[in-house]
Structures are given as structure tokens and as C-alpha cells.
Chains A and B, each alone.
Chain A
Amino acid sequence: MDYAAELITEFTPDEQRSTNKDLLRFITCGSVDDGKSTLIGRLLYDSKSLPTDQLANLAIDSARYGTTGDGQLDFALLVDGLVAEREQGITIDVAYRFFDTSRRKFIIADSPGHEQYTRNMATAASTADLAVLLVDARRGILTQTRRHSYIVSLFGIRRVVLVVNKMDAVNWNRDVFEEIAGSFRSFAAGLEVDDVPCIPLSALTGANVVSKAAEMPWYDGPALLPYLENVEVAARADELPFRLPVQWISRPTPSFRGFAGTIASGRIATGDKIAVLPGGHTSTVSRIVTMDGDLPRAEAGQAVTLLLNEELDVARGDMLAAVTDKPALTDQFAAHLLWLDQTPWLPGRSYLMQLGTATAKARVTEIKHLINVNTLEKIAASTLAMNEIALASFSLDRQLPFDPFRENQATGSFILVDRQTNATVACGMVAFPLYQATNLHWRPMKVTKQARIAASGHKARILWFTGLSGAGKSTIADLLEEALHRRGCRTMTLDGDNIRCGLNRDLDFTDNGRVENIRRVAEVAKLMVEAGLIVLVSFISPFRSERELARGLVDDGEFLEIFVDAPLTVCEARDPKGLYAKARAGEISHFTGIDSAYERPDKPELHLLSGEKMPEQLVEQVLKFLDAIDA
């Protein structure tokens, strides 16, 4: 059978009008119970965008879960699509709804109001052109209202409309409305948003939702839907310098080498000169390839494949950019960060940064300040927990091209991914490059690590002994180093106490001091690996995150975590330094095993039962293991 398709080339004028509409993506946000979901339900219902079967289901659901009273439709149930949401009557995650009018197509992202679900609100805000911020007329501006306004402005959404809902509950009182509008406008003056139009309405009755309400003759602005149909949302991405983060290399034949990606900003035409970053080589565009034929030019938002005249080394994660107006290129910058994960930021920890299509290992080196979303004050802080917003300094393991977020959203935004759990833990907006980075350049060395390792005649690696005080880490490490030395290996031992007497004597025992202690030891160990040595490190290192920090600094396979495992009772009985006695007597605090936790390694490379076996047997076990992995 032939499935030749009908190809419509001539649309009727009606059809053309409907396909020529533009698309507005907006979010509804605000505090819990301000009526976001109800407003969406009302918009869909009054614009006749609700199919009858969904309406019938809504009637059934309203009777079962509804909170609006007998025989009333509970519109919130239209968007609260998860069982858990309907049962609890709350919005947990963003829901997307679609509708269109004769003027425009709309995608609504209904975001949750609870602070707990701020990360889902951020998901909704990140793709919106405009924000509809709701306030309950009876409650006025709340912390969550301010938080959402701040996040909206942080995400670069300049168009915000304030909807004062539930006007029916305050007798359509103008003074109530004016006071809320006034106080919000003065708060919004501190944000980077345009003038905020304020609309009094009732989602429950439909007043001022689709058409002007008779109950509020004093209000002379538009109803919400006409406002949304007419508001100008300036897309200016094509006015910016050309940027194309390379997603994928297309090599269908040996002679075709195309660079596929979405144009993040600007325009490009064949013959234009471009630079490939971070490398910096330049070339000219020979073809802009699409399945519908080559294009003479393309602009922001289009997904294309570019061919270049010169053979250049281009990989996923590189950026093609205008030669005349290149992005910044550094490995250190300051950025605003919204923390999204339940596990707080761990000082010193290295995360994966996804910036455009590029990935780098990144560390937050400093929290410059947190932002109080209520007062917009800057607060000094050294921690960052879920839903908090900070300005922070970043250090990357390589240089990446980017633009400050304010100048170019698409090339100035990133997410952080936890390297163990793969969770998306934060999103960020680049503020500015750090001066230091532009003057510091990593200098490749003539004698490489590989050459030094070859001269050693054996693999270079870190043997990281972790375990309780008294478990036998140093004893085993000492015996092992002797054995390795006898075999002709080049070794070095880094001992916790010894390092604290010298390099790290300026550090205290607070959490930050402890992390810095580990970071320095790990950096020194890394240098020694580059020198071709086997480094034996004996540190209690009770926290997984600290050990993972050290692991992240060196190449895969170069870090061996050796868990020296003896029961607390055995360690305490040994008490070689008398520290357990002191801790029990309360003379020292934060002592691992007594009043501070030891996090056992999940998957150490080697697990030594030092409560049961003699040190000499355990050294044999390590040597056998090393021989096995080198074999």
C-alpha cells in the first residue's frame, strides 16, 4: 500500500491566521492557597478550552476531593494531576496546560506555592516569558510572594503581572487592592523587572479574568486574558552576538563533518567568520544544512548543522561564536546560585557543571553572600541549603566560554550535578568573570606526568587510609611503605598529625577548617602523584564528601580508598594517644566515634578488618591487591 502523504501548501486565510499566532509561555506563581490552580481552571473554562469529558471528570473529582463546596467545580483538580496532590489538596510539581485564543497560543506552567517545592517552581520559571504572580487579597504580600518574585527576576523574566485574587472575599474593596499593589510595587523596585501591572480579580467568580467585572468599576485596566493576549514580550536573542553551543558532530560520510546545535543567540550567514571556543581557532561558515535544504542564513532558536571551510578540531561542548564579539573564557567566575537539593552544598566538593552543552568539574570556592528574599539584604554565610540563593565564586577544572547571564541568558546559565547521585543540585546564572582567572593560565609542562611515572617504573597513586582513631591506619601505612620501599618503589607518607604541625597549622577544627585541611592534603597528594610517587595518606577523614573530594582531584583509578575497619570498642581499648579517654571525660569535643559520626565507605577499593587480623597480614592483603590490579 502507498502511504503518500497529503502535503498542504495552500492554507485558507482562516487556517493561516491560526497557524501564524505567536506563543506565550507564562507561569503562575505565588504562595500556597493564593488560587493559582483555580485561576488556570477559570482561564481554561471561560476561554472554552476544556473538553467536555475533562469537564465531566472534573465534576466527579470535585465531588470526591473538592474543597469548593457542594455542586461547585474545584478547578484546582484540573491541574493537580498527581494522586498525592489531589489527596492533600496541594500542588507538588509544575503542571503544563495549553490553550489558545484567536490572538495567541499559550503554555501555562502552574508552579507549586510551598517553599519545599521551590525547585519545581524554578523548573517552571526557567522556560517562561512572563510571570503571573498571585496574591490573596485577604493576606497580602507574603514571604513566598517575595521569594517567587525574586526567583522570577533572577531567571531574567522582566514581565511580571501582579494579580490580586479573591477580591470577592474583601467586598471588591479598592483600598485593599491599592495597598497591596503599592506595597508590591515598592518591593519590585529592588528587582530587575519592568513596571508591574496589577489586576484585581476573583478566580472563583471569574471577575476580571476573561472580561471586565461590573463589581470593580474603579479599576480601569484590562482583564487578565486580554492583557496576556496583547502584552509585548520582546525576544531579543537574535539581536545578540552569534553563539552556537555544539551539541553533536554529524559525520555521515568521511567528507561531511557538520556541527549540529541550536543557535543560542544572534544570526549567522554563509561566509560569516566564526571562532571555535575554547580553542580560539577561526573559520568561515560554508553551509547551513537542514533537511529542508541549505539555508543562506539562520537566527537564534533554529536547530541547524553548520559546515566550516577550514578543517578544525571541534567537539561537543565547544562554542561557535562571532569573531568580532567573543564570549568570556575563564575557569573562575562569580554566579548566582539557587540550591535545589535536599543535601546542602558541601564545602570543597567538586560538582559537574553543565553550561550550554559543555561539562566541567566545578567547585564553589567561596560563598560571597546569601540573599534574604524578604528584604533583599545580603547576608554573610558559609553554607548553602535547599531553596537558598547565594552569590558564589566558582573554580572550574578547565576554561569554558560564557557570557554574563544579564547579557545572554542562553550562554550564561548552568546547572550543577552531583557526581555520586547524579541529582541536579543547583542552577546558576553567571554574574561576572573573576579577575584572578584572566591573569592566571595553566601552563603545560614539558616533562609530563606520564614521563615521570615512566621514570618511576611503577604506577603512581594515592592510597587513602580512612578509619577511626586507633584502627591502625598509620601502623599499616608505615609497614606498607617499608615493604614498597624494599621493592624499589618511590613513596611518600602524609600523616594527619604531621601535616597539622606544618602546612596546615593555621587551620582550626571547625567544619570549614576540616574541609580545607583535606583539600590541601589532597592537592599535595595530587602533586606527588604527578611526580610519579605512591602516596600513603593516613587520615581519619570521617565524611564521605571529604574523601570524594580527594578522589575527584586525580584521574580514575589513581585513588584507592582503604577502609581500616576496627570496632569502636577495640579502638577505644587500644587508645594509643589517650584521646578516647579525654573525649569520654568531655575534655575534647567533636571526636570521631564519640560525639561525631564516622561515615563508613560505601565501596572502598579495599576493606581491612584491623580488629581481627595482625597488621602484617593486612599489609600482605594490600600488596596482593596492588599486584592484582597492576597485573
Chain B
Amino acid sequence: MSLEYLDQLEAESMHIMREAVAQSRNPVMLYSIGKDSSVMLHLAMKAFFPAKPPFPLLHIDTMWKFREMIAFRDTRAGELGLKLIVHVNDAGLRAGIGPFSHGATVHTEIMKTEALKQALSLGGYDVAFGGARRDEEKSRAKERIFSFRTTAHRWDPRNQRPEIWNLYNGRIAPGENIRIFPLSNWTEIDIWQYIAREGIPVVPLYFARPRQTVHRNGALLLVDDDRFPLEMGEVPETKWVRFRTLGCYPLTAAVESQASTLLDIIDEMRLATTSERQGRVIDHDQGASMEAKKQEGYF
């Protein structure tokens, strides 16, 4: 069976990764445990086979990820024999920053964006791979595959480097860095079809199961641990749900679904009328919120 466009996408991603590694001094791969990260990691294994990918994985732990994600992360890194760096913004942790107490915006800024910048500066990385795709969101649709960042990790969307053919310019001055997006041209359904074709393990939260949920502000949230403060009158309900995207559990909405296998998911996606990131509370803070966050250094 020939899967022509998946082969094309795969080869393009491998080319991007090899190019980034060849041009860099100290690369790192942002590993966020989700399906895109799983595909990106699989592609990295392919790009450098039979060698191991010549870079560590970096997970920015906000301390509010789903428990199943953390378990999955540690298992996968161990199985593949890769170095995993977990970074937490200690100052934020000491200050008790969290999504329930401080709100989505403050939590994301301090525990995610700020933590990411800390980790990249700490490691002295000049290249960081990220699993973002252009079909996810309108400002990501505008971003280059090799995306230049200043010494302060800022993105300047109005002055991006031209990116012609597959000739990527990875040259930077000391302290600057480049974010690399090997999955830029993949869509959500490409990701699932590829996961199915390659047999790539993903976090079980993507598959529909009966789970404890609470309906709040139009979002269906999972009660993942006892830090979830129930409001007056809220009673967790068991529902068949799954996740299309995974982030911090209080900020990531589940969808009601019966799709418990990969083929179910692909079929469901074909009929889906909403976009994937609808389940991300943080995207909807302000109209251009992703662009603003990206300018600050978010992935």
C-alpha cells in the first residue's frame, strides 16, 4: 500500500531535522508528551537511524499535566534510551502558581513560557525542536519552519527570514536561538493516519473511556487529582470522553466521544466540525492570544 503524501511529509520532516542538527551546536527537542511530540520523536528516531537522535528531550513540567502523561513520558524515554530533561520553574512552584489559584494566563506565562525560556537559557541550546503544526492556529499558519528568536527568545512575526526552497538558514549570533518546526505541514488527520500506519504509542487519554468529568464554563474538564476544587453544586459525572489535544489538565477540555480505537478516531475526525485547539482554554483569552504568547517566547 502506498501512502504517498504521508511519505512526502515524513521525508520532509526528516530533512528538516537533519538540517537543523547539522547546522547547530547544541540542539534540544521540546517533548510535550502529546500525539504531535510522539510523531516528532518517531521521525527523529528515523532521521538519525541507526544512531540515536543526537539531542536530549526537554519537558517543561507545569506540575499540572495529566498523571497519565507523566507516566507515559517516563516510560517512553526509558524505552527509547533517550536523555530526558524535566524542567520546572522553581520560583513559580514556590510561589504556588497554579491554574485554579492564579488563572490560565498567569499560570501559562509563569509555569510554561517563563519556564521554557529558563530551560533554554540554562541549557545554552541554540536550536529547539517543537511539534507545532500550521493547521492548528492562525498565527502558527504564518510561522517559518526555521523560526528565528532573539536573545530574549522573542519572535518578530513582521520580520521573518525568507525561507526559500528547502534551504534553511540556521545561522545565529551567540545567545540567539532557532525554533524548528518539523511538523509544520502536517494536519491533525495526517498525524493520526501516520500514528496508525507506524504503530506509534500515544497517551491513552486520546482514546475514549469512561472518565470523571465536570462541566464548567462550557468546557468538559477531567477531575485528574484531588487538587481540582469543586464549586458549589458541581458533582463529577462519569462520561465517555477523550482528548484531541493535551495540556494542563484544568486548561484542557475533553470531548464526549465513543472513539476507543485509532480507526474510530480517524473516522470521528473526518466528521468533526470543530477544530482541535478549541479544547485549549488558554487560546481563547484574547483574539490574538497565541501570537502574543509566541512573541513572548511560547512555542
Contacts and interface: CB of A to CB of B under 8 A. Distances in A.
A354 interface: yes
Interface string B202-234: 101000000000000000000000000000000
Contact of A127 (B47, B165, B261, B292): B165
B167 to A, nearest CB: 5
A61 B8 CA distance: 35
B185 A354 contact: no
A19 to B, nearest CB: 5
Contacts of B45: 291
B19 A107 contact: no
Interface in B269-299: 270, 272-275, 278, 287-288, 291-292
A21 B164 CA distance: 26
Contacts of B11: 262, 301-303
B141 A79 contact: yes
Contacts of B72: 1, 3
B162 A251 contact: no
Nearest to A421: B173
Interface in A180-217: none
Contacts of A423: 161
A358 B193 CA distance: 35
Contacts of A262: 11, 14-15, 166
A82 interface: yes
A53 B138 CA distance: 13
Given A1-B75, A247-B19, A414-B167, A52 B274 contact: yes
A320 B48 CA distance: 19
A82 B171 contact: no
A135 to B, nearest CB: 25
B157 A82 contact: yes
Nearest to B19: A247
A23 interface: yes
A334 interface: no
Given A1-B71, A78-B138, A424 B263 contact: no
Contact of A20 (B2, B10, B140, B198): B2
Interface stretch (B49-57, B89-97, B107-115, B116-124): B49-57
Given A98-B187, A107-B185, A422-B171, A415 B164 contact: yes
**A interface secondary structure, majority:** mixed
Given A262-B15, A354-B167, A357-B22, A19 B49 contact: no
Contact of B201 (A4, A123, A247): A4
B81 interface: no
Interface in A304-346: 305, 316, 340
Given A5-B199, A422-B172, A289 B49 contact: yes
Contacts of A11: 1
A127 B167 CA distance: 11
B162 A120 contact: yes
A357 B204 CA distance: 40
Interface stretch (A87-95, A446-454, A560-568): A87-95
Nearest to B9: A23
A305 B202 CA distance: 27
Contacts of B25: none
A189 B21 CA distance: 44
Q: Chain B CB within 10 Å — which of A8, A97, A120 has the most? A: A8
A408 B6 CA distance: 24
Interface in B146-168: 157-158, 160-167
A260 interface: yes
A442 interface: no
Nearest to B14: A303
Nearest to A21: B5
Contact of A316 (B6, B10, B22, B273): B22
Nearest to B51: A252
A510 to B, nearest CB: 31
Given A127-B165, A262-B14, A93 B291 contact: no
Contacts of B137: 81
B235 interface: no
B59 interface: no
A52 B196 contact: no
Q: Chain B CB within 10 Å — which of A96, A97, A120, A427 has the most? A: A96
B61 interface: no
Given A52-B274, A252-B50, A424-B169, A8 B142 contact: no
Given A107-B185, A251-B51, A252-B50, A427 B8 contact: no
Given A53-B278, A81-B141, A247 B22 contact: yes
A303 B47 contact: yes
A23 B197 CA distance: 18
A250 interface: yes
Contact of A51 (B19, B144, B166, B273): B273
Contacts of B139: 81-82
Contacts of B262: 6, 8
Given A54-B275, A424-B163, 16 more contacts: A1-B75, A3-B202, A3-B204, A5-B200, A6-B199, A51-B275, A53-B274, A81-B137, A86-B288, A93-B160, A98-B185, A262-B11, A352-B171, A357-B22, A415-B165, A417-B169
Interface of B: 1-8, 10-11, 14-15, 18-19, 21-22, 45-52, 71-72, 75-76, 134-135, 137-142, 144, 157-158, 160-167, 169, 171-173, 184-185, 187, 193, 195-202, 204, 261-263, 266, 270, 272-275, 278, 287-288, 291-292
Ranked nearest first, the 9 interchain pairs of A and B with the lowest CB-CB distance are: A7-B199, A81-B138, A303-B14, A252-B51, A51-B275, A8-B196, A291-B49, A3-B201, A23-B5
